Amino acid sequence: MPRHKHLIALLGALLLLDLACTKDEPAEPVSTIEPSERVVPSPVGTSQTVLEKTFALKDTATFPFEIPAHAAMPHLHGIFESFAGQAHGASDDTANIDFLIMNQSQQDDFANNRPSEALFTVEASHNQSVNFDLPASLDRPAKYYLVFRNTEGGKRSKVRVVEANFHVDF
């Protein structure tokens, strides 16, 4: 018998042997578990600092934060105060700013100057306490943004100084 016929016969025998050995092994089961049903550590009962900062605001300042997966009832709370010119200076209507809470798609629209809505808005305020329930994050983390906007806007706007302190509870 020529050499290549021996090789073909040998390969055929190995293939049959392999099929015979794997035939008795049970098939691996296919997972039917939904991602939202997977057990992972829950953030429930924890808290996270979102923003503790004093900053200058000429036009807009954006601060991203993330809600972890499986946060059933995330609650954002905090306070901001704005001052005209310098920290702890005048905090009256001359220091008014806008405050917004946005999700990822709203922030994308806002950043690209497309018409946008916000989950939560405070307009023309210089001192505001905020309590807001964010949507549940389900099986994926969710990104949100705190946006502070100088109500004057434009190149001639006066700088505001903002003191902000925000936390989220899960």
Q: Could you tell me which CATH class the domain 43-169 is placed in? A: mainly beta
- 151-158: average pLDDT: 70
Q: Which H or E run contains 4?
A: helix 3-23
- Each residue of 83-103: pLDDT tens digit? 998 888 878 899 999 999 999
CA distance 124 to 146: 16
The stretch 29-49 carries a mean pLDDT of 62
Write the DSSP assignment of 40-75 as a string of letters: ----TT-EEEEEEEEEEESSEEEEEEEEPTT-SS-E
The pLDDT tens digits of the residues spanning 9-35 come to 655 665 565 656 555 555 555 556 555
Average pLDDT, the chain: 83
- Residue 41's nearest CA partner among 68, 76, 65, 67 is 68
Kindly list the domain boundaries of the chain, sorted by start residue: 43-169
pTM, whole model, 2 decimals? Answer: 0.72
